[in-house]
A and B are shown apart, each in its own frame.
Chain A
Amino acid sequence: MRENSASSTDLLEHERPPAYVDPEIIAAEEKKWTPKKIALWVAISLVGAISWFMLAIVRGETVNGIWFVFAAVCSYLIAYRFYARYVEAKLANPDDRRATPAEYDADGKDYAATDRRVLYGHHFAAIAGAGPLVGPVLAAQMGFLPGTIWIIVGVIFAGAVQDYLVLFFSMRRGGRSLGQMAKEELGTVGGYAAILATLTIMIIITAILALVVVNALGESPWGVFSVGMTIPIALFMGVYLRYLRPGKVGEVSLIGFILLMVAIIAGGWVAETSWGAQYLTLDRVTLAWAVIIYGFVAAILPVWLLLAPRDYLSTFMKVGTIILLAVGIIVVRPEISVPAFSEFASRSDGPVWSGSLFPFLFVTIACGALSGFHALIASGTTPKMVEKERQVRFIGYGGMLMESFVAIMALVAAVTVDRGIYFAMNSAAGATGGTIEGAAAFVNSLGLTGVHVTPELLGETAQHVGEQSIVSRTGGAPTLAVGMATILHQMMPAFDLMSFWYHFAIMFEALFILTAVDAGTRVARFMLQDTLGNFFPRFNDHNWRLGAWLTTAIMVAGWGSILILGVTDPLGGINTFYPLFGIANQLLAAVALAVCLAIAANKGKFKYLWIIALPLVFDLVVTVVGSWQKIFSSNPKVGYWANHFAFKDALESGASSFGAAKTPAAMEAVLRNTMVQGTLSIIFVVLTLIVVLMAVLEVMRAAKGQQKETRENPYIESRIFAPAGLTATDAEKKLEKEWAEFYRKHPQEIAGSAGHSAH
């Protein structure tokens, strides 16, 4: 193909319109401030400023949920228009004359130029999972303001910058992965540390996501039935696509979606029957084993049978539900009575998660503000599908802004929940005793102003959402589901669908968590196989069944054992393990930013390194201080080891109960869990510091003038054109017309997204 299009044989060279808008015209368009444009940006800034004022300064009894939406959207628009463009101009320098891998390596399969708007949706669906939904719910313990500020400011200066740069640099390198880029830029040590960090982080992330699902489904026959039904539904879809109607993805997704709705409704009936209540009310340990077995079986089944159809369902549900929630918040405009800063904002003994606001709020909300995991997606499929270099700002930076918006909506949904109910749902069973009376007594004893919850209210709420109990339903998902159900119910109260919406929300989260568990196990298995292949070449053969099963089993054992520790943890599991998840994700972000830093330094961009250094340093301070406290804090509520030794001393002194652990066996469980948590914290932080150190050395070497040669793929002239942003500018429209004319005359020349566009 490349010879075909070499310029010497290009007979249409003189007819073909340019593949880019002249940079001078772009600059002129950007600089031209018409009165209409000025008015628009003044209006956006004003609305944004008023919204922030309402959230941060005005202290009324309540605050309206709509201000969150306006504050977020206006901030995003300003950041996208001004800061993202600044980052683009100073660090990336996209050049639309240059062909992207999707053009020069086009194979019609992995490498395929994709319309920017479609790719935006595709990339967003790949980066957004359960993380941005769960973190903000847990962070609501501190009040609404700290989380809101971090989600919005964090995404603008950290998360979106990381996603943008990783996507851009990977695209310039033919779509190379983060691990490969780390090896090239940081050398062997840095590279291996990065890969090892990725692997261990993947295990912990899979474990905690699974823990969220198990917590949401425990003692819930309705949830178990409807989420369980997703397996046969996905299998049916897989068979349908393979044997009955190959390629009819939209059609089968719609059928699957209808079946899902039926499964949710049927779950309500099943839970009412005596056999349903008897056989589907599962305790969390049983469910954890079910998820472990599912994870193993799913990961060794062929992709077409379970993973691919699940992906379609999960994407469908994800985008649909997010739009539904946005409409709900705008229509209902809920009044929020949670304070901006709660009593726990200045303390470190919150019942939902322990630790002070700094640094733990910033690790509790990872996804939505800054998520290292995105670097794996931004250096995976997306860079191979980008059509033009200047589109990366829209897809990378803009895609992350959308995820941040999802996090803001999750926060709004969580803070609409009555605070008494919130704390009853999110405090560990050790504190509440698992009963409505115990929970009410515990929450009322916290001394929170305006909070008084009665056992009756807790019982009623459970009944409304179709659950036996909502006490100590930790993990964030059930709380979000209550919030979402309330908003959606208020949007259409006539239908009386509260319990349906609750289980709809649970289903929506469980769906993509189970997909992430399956895919995460597969990816980790390949990483392990390739690593083992260095020592035992047989493992390099990916078709070797025994090897595949063995490595899959090792990976499942890895996250499965942490999951079991989590569900049996006397201290509540999520409360102690969630910070580890956040720290792991943020440390991966540090690795990604470190790689970007080294790349930018080798490009000689010293004057603008602060753009990367700013989020990197902040992220490092947060994670290292967080890890430090988790490792060295003498407060047993915060420090894993302090807790470990406190329990050890208690056990040695012959005590038979200590703190939340009521039996010697429970005390031993705490001993073991704190040991695992403490050890993992140390491993993560050491690996990351190695990577960052290598990056700093690289920057210093580059500063001395010993810049490495670029690892970018060579320049190839582009011969397709597409606009950069969501909408085309005047100059872009003009050029699009020229191309349409050219393709009309020479249909055999149609290439890029023009070959399969709707328009």
Chain B
Amino acid sequence: MNKIKEIISAIEWFTSGMLGGDKYQKYLAHHRQTGCDHAPMSEREFWRDYHRRLDENPGARCC
């Protein structure tokens, strides 16, 4: 049972990472590690900021 749980969580981890769904977690991890004084952005703020940056630099998709 534990093995199955592990496999499911590994698939979740991989899919979310590949889709870019773990970006906020990565941001939080970075924020924690650098030990900044200011509070991190909330999840909502982070994604707004992310999409604003994407508007400026969309990046090509391949053919």
CB neighbours of A250 from chain B (8 A): 12, 15-16, 19, 21
Where chain A touches its partner, the secondary structure class is helix
19 contacts between A and B (CB under 8 A): A114-B17, A118-B17, A122-B18, A122-B20, A130-B63, A242-B47, A246-B44, A249-B16, A250-B16, A253-B19, A253-B21, A319-B18, A371-B63, A373-B63, A374-B62, A380-B59, A758-B9, A758-B12, A758-B13
Interface residue ranges of B9-32 to A (CB < 8 Å): 9-10, 12-32
Of B9, B14, B44, most A-chain CB atoms within 10 Å: B14
A122-B18, A250-B12, A307-B58 in contact; A585/B27 too (CB < 8 A)? Answer: no
CB neighbours of A109 from chain B (8 A): 23, 27, 50, 53
Interface residue ranges of A519-549 to B (CB < 8 Å): 519-520, 522-523, 526, 542
Contact indicator B62/A756 (Cβ below 8 Å): no
Within the assembled complex, what's the spacing in Å between the Cα atoms of A512 and B62?
9
- Pick the residue among A118, A202, A585 that contacts B60 (CB under 8 A): A202
- Pick the residue among B25, B34, B51 that contacts A756 (CB under 8 A): B25
- Pick the residue among A106, A523, A751 that contacts B59 (CB under 8 A): A523
- Pick the residue among A106, A205, A312 that contacts B30 (CB under 8 A): A106
CB neighbours of A4 from chain B (8 A): 34-35
Contact indicator A750/B60 (Cβ below 8 Å): no
Contact with B along A115-135 (1 / 0, CB 8 A): 101100110011111110000
| Interface presence of A381 (CB below 8 A) | yes
Within the assembled complex, what's the spacing in Å between the Cα atoms of A449 and B47?
59
Contact indicator A755/B29 (Cβ below 8 Å): yes
Within the assembled complex, what's the spacing in Å between the Cα atoms of A107 and B50?
12
Within the assembled complex, what's the spacing in Å between the Cα atoms of A458 and B47?
50
Number of A-B pairs whose CB atoms are under 8 Å? 158
Contact indicator B63/A205 (Cβ below 8 Å): yes
| Interface presence of B54 (CB below 8 A) | yes
Contact indicator B19/A755 (Cβ below 8 Å): no
| Interface presence of A308 (CB below 8 A) | yes
- Pick the residue among B26, B28, B56, B61 that contacts A516 (CB under 8 A): B61
Within the assembled complex, what's the spacing in Å between the Cα atoms of A242 and B9?
25
Within the assembled complex, what's the spacing in Å between the Cα atoms of A250 and B33?
26
Interface residue ranges of A628-672 to B (CB < 8 Å): none
| Interface presence of A108 (CB below 8 A) | yes
Size bracket of the B interface:
35 or more
| Interface presence of B55 (CB below 8 A) | yes
Q: What are the 10 closest A-B residue pairs judged by CB atoms, nearest first? A: A249-B21, A108-B30, A755-B29, A118-B17, A758-B13, A121-B18, A304-B51, A108-B27, A522-B58, A131-B63
Q: Identify the closest chain B residue to A254 (Cβ).
A: B15
- Pick the residue among B9, B16, B35, B62 that contacts A128 (CB under 8 A): B62
Q: Identify the closest chain A residue to B36 (Cβ).
A: A1
Q: Nearest Cβ distance between residue B46 and chain A, in whole angstroms?
A: 7
Within the assembled complex, what's the spacing in Å between the Cα atoms of A623 and B2?
55
Contact with B along A441-457 (1 / 0, CB 8 A): 00000000000000000
CB neighbours of A377 from chain B (8 A): 59-60, 62
| Interface presence of A60 (CB below 8 A) | no
Contact with B along A368-400 (1 / 0, CB 8 A): 000101101100110000000000000000000
Chain B contacts to A: CB under 8 angstroms? 9-10, 12-35, 43-44, 46-48, 50-51, 53-63
Contact indicator A512/B30 (Cβ below 8 Å): no
Contact indicator A127/B62 (Cβ below 8 Å): yes
A246-B44, A755-B30 in contact; A303/B55 too (CB < 8 A)? Answer: yes
Size bracket of the A interface:
35 or more
| Interface presence of A742 (CB below 8 A) | no
Q: Nearest Cβ distance between residue A728 and chain B, in whole angstroms?
A: 15
Of B35, B57, B60, most A-chain CB atoms within 10 Å: B60
CB neighbours of A308 from chain B (8 A): 51, 54
- Pick the residue among A209, A303, A520, A751 that contacts B51 (CB under 8 A): A303
Contact indicator B58/A523 (Cβ below 8 Å): yes
Contact indicator A585/B63 (Cβ below 8 Å): yes
CB neighbours of B61 from chain A (8 A): 126, 129, 311, 512, 515-516, 519-520
| Interface presence of A465 (CB below 8 A) | no
Within the assembled complex, what's the spacing in Å between the Cα atoms of A117 and B11?
11
CB neighbours of B15 from chain A (8 A): 250
- Pick the residue among B12, B29, B55, B59 that contacts A108 (CB under 8 A): B29
CB neighbours of A748 from chain B (8 A): 32-33, 35
| Interface presence of A677 (CB below 8 A) | no
Q: Nearest Cβ distance between residue B61 and chain A, in whole angstroms?
A: 4
Q: Nearest Cβ distance between residue B23 and chain A, in whole angstroms?
A: 8
CB neighbours of A126 from chain B (8 A): 61-62
Q: Nearest Cβ distance between residue B58 and chain A, in whole angstroms?
A: 4
Q: Identify the closest chain B residue to A1 (Cβ).
A: B34
Of A248, A250, A302, A319, most B-chain CB atoms within 10 Å: A250
CB neighbours of B30 from chain A (8 A): 106-108, 112, 755
CB neighbours of B32 from chain A (8 A): 748, 750, 755
Within the assembled complex, what's the spacing in Å between the Cα atoms of A341 and B9?
47
Contact with B along A297-333 (1 / 0, CB 8 A): 0000011100110011001100100000000000000
| Interface presence of A241 (CB below 8 A) | yes
Q: Nearest Cβ distance between residue A544 and chain B, in whole angstroms?
A: 13
Within the assembled complex, what's the spacing in Å between the Cα atoms of A194 and B62?
18
- Pick the residue among B31, B47, B59 that contacts A247 (CB under 8 A): B47
Within the assembled complex, what's the spacing in Å between the Cα atoms of A229 and B17?
27
Interface residue ranges of A242-258 to B (CB < 8 Å): 242, 246-250, 253
Within the assembled complex, what's the spacing in Å between the Cα atoms of A376 and B63?
11
| Interface presence of A367 (CB below 8 A) | yes
